Amino acid sequence: MRHVVDTALDSRWLWLAARILLAVVFLSSGLAKLVDFQGGMAEMRAAGLAPDWLFNGLTVLVLLGGALLLLLDRALWLGAGALAVFLLLTIALVHRFWALPAPQDKLAMFWALEHLSVVGGLIAAAIASRARRRTART
């Protein structure tokens, strides 16, 4: 059984599947903000970000660029870092549960916790990418 688990964890296909699963939320959000640019700008305005076109454009760039780096496993650390910073800023600017009245505070806290969990996944992906590269060299 251990051999099966080790083989699966060393598999390039499982590593690709993990990166796809991690990137899908960023790809879908980035594409949605790109395809419906007006809707994305409305989200930026709702968050108090101006100019809305600039923040939506930067958001699309970070989400799609970071996801692409994750998928390609090229400079994955950079993509993961950019996406992690994006998520942390989103907590500070949008999901400010500490400043919201009930019941909105609870939903915002759940979003913030979800974002923190994804940041952990991004850190783990960056560590795994580096370890896999080191292993491949030896």
What is the tally of structural domains in the chain? 1
Asked whether the predicted pLDDT for residue 53 surpasses 90, the reply is: yes
Distance CA 60, CA 48 (A): 17
Going by C-alpha positions, the residue among 120, 119, 114 that lies closest to residue 85 is 119
Q: Does residue 19 or residue 137 have the better pLDDT? A: 19
In the block, residue with structure tokens 């809707």: 39
Q: What is the pTM of this model?
A: 0.94
Q: Which domain holds residue 7?
A: 2-137
User: Over the stretch 59-117, which tens digit does the pLDDT of each residue have?
Assistant: 999 999 999 999 999 999 999 999 999 999 999 999 999 999 999 999 999 999 999 99
Reported confidence tier of residue 6, pLDDT bands at 50, 70, 90: confident
Reported confidence tier of residue 43, pLDDT bands at 50, 70, 90: very high
- Mean pLDDT for the chain? 96
Distance CA 109, CA 67 (A): 25
At 138 the pLDDT is 82
